[in-house]
Amino acid sequence: MGRRVTEVRLDGVRKEYGETAALSRVDLRIRDGEFFTLVGPSGCGKTTTLRLIAGFETPTAGRVLFDGADATGVPPESRGVGVVFQNYALFPHMTVAENVGYGLRFSDPPDGSDRRERVAGLLSLVNLDGLGDRRPEALSGGQQQRVALARALAPGPRLLLLDEPMSALDARLRERLRLQVKEIQSALGVTTVYVTHDQEEALAVSDRVAVMNDGGIEQVGAPRAVYRRPGSRFVAAFVGHNNVLDGEIVADRDRFDSGDEMEGFDLGRETGELDADRMRVAVGDETFAIPSPDVAERGAASGTPESPSVGDRITFCVRPEHLRLGAGENRLRATVESAEFLGDSTRVHLDWKGRRLTLRADDAGMYVEEGTGMHGENDVSTGEVEVGFDPDDAHVVEVR
């Protein structure tokens, strides 16, 4: 069906339902062949965005463009998109093969094959060889979802849209199926927009993700970039576990160069230690060295002014895997609250003067030490521990 979409663009898209603005303003550019994921909490507008791309909804304002051409008024069946929903929506009275063949109701197979061959080829692609004569009810949830995928792929769509396709499946099956979906997508090279509320799933499968919140886009980027350099407090807290801390800049490089002293803080000790690209931040009555946001990051961190300076409020984050017991240049003393043994690691919850911190340890064994307050995998007493992090493992999220 037609040529492939090379690019999907949403330009200033707004969607209102009566008084409710489901999307306040969405600008997106989805590239040819990429696996692009919309991720965010329930109600943030992911499904609405997908339905606007599919053509099931019309924007209140703004435009949806396919390859630069305005698709806003084009009906769904003329857009050449394949859609897979959360609830499979297979026809119970049809066999598996008939369900897949239903995807060809508007068009002949794109590769010139006959319909039977096309259906058999697709069933093989989704690993369901030999199950064409069954009814959907005789399949597992994961198998049914693969039938739905094969049906969406049958006409050779220009664009594949997947809305929470795995949310009805158990965790192990989701992991397996998401890998299969990713493999099929990259083998076909079909531009794919995937909706999930599961940030781990988003990081695992996507070329790029758009993190959504409250009807808008918070950040777009490759999974690693979004994880390592969250551009807002919301992204820092939503994507993966994180320790998000608020403080105040008490010294930057200029301050040290001029030899000034900050009242109330003993900076003498650090004067010689603070590198040119670091600043010192007070959180409560503790101070930490953290990196100054560089020019590149200032662009990414939405709230970051051109040149952060002493007195500015700052939000930064440190991942649980970067918080270490008895190590790191920046130190603090916290109280152990609880621990979760996760098999390959242990997540330890700490209280630091009313702030909740999380530390991830690769080896639970290292915590079972005298005097650490941690005695067993999930069995911890409420001892005090010293934890630390290195300045380069802190990431500045916002400066105000």
Torsion sign across C-alpha atoms 178, 179, 180, 182: positive
In sequence order, what DSSP letters do the residues of 73-102 get, joined into one string? Answer: TS-GGGTTEEEE-TT----TTS-HHHHHHH
Residues in the chain: 400
**Cβ closest to ligand ATP, residue 16 vs residue 386:** 16
User: Phi/psi class of residue 294: alpha, beta or left (left: φ > 0; alpha: ψ in -120 to 50)?
Assistant: beta
Give the shortest CB-17-to-ligand ATP separation in angstroms: 3
**Cβ closest to ligand ATP, residue 87 vs residue 381:** 87
Give the shortest CB-352-to-ligand ATP separation in angstroms: 33
**Cβ closest to ligand ATP, residue 81 vs residue 245:** 81
Strand duo 216-221 + 243-251: pairing: unpaired
CB 130 within 8 A of CB 22: no
**Cβ closest to ligand ATP, residue 165 vs residue 391:** 165
Give the shortest CB-26-to-ligand ATP separation in angstroms: 11
Distance (Å, whole) CA 228 – CA 395: 8
Give the shortest CB-41-to-ligand ATP separation in angstroms: 7
Distance (Å, whole) CA 27 – CA 153: 27
Distance (Å, whole) CA 26 – CA 63: 10
Within a 10 A sphere around the Cβ of 245, how many other Cβ atoms? Answer: 21
Give the shortest CB-214-to-ligand ATP separation in angstroms: 9
Give the shortest CB-47-to-ligand ATP separation in angstroms: 3
Binding site for ligand ATP (CB under 6 A): 17, 20, 22, 40, 42-48, 197
**Cβ closest to ligand ATP, residue 17 vs residue 91:** 17
**Cβ closest to ligand ATP, residue 47 vs residue 144:** 47
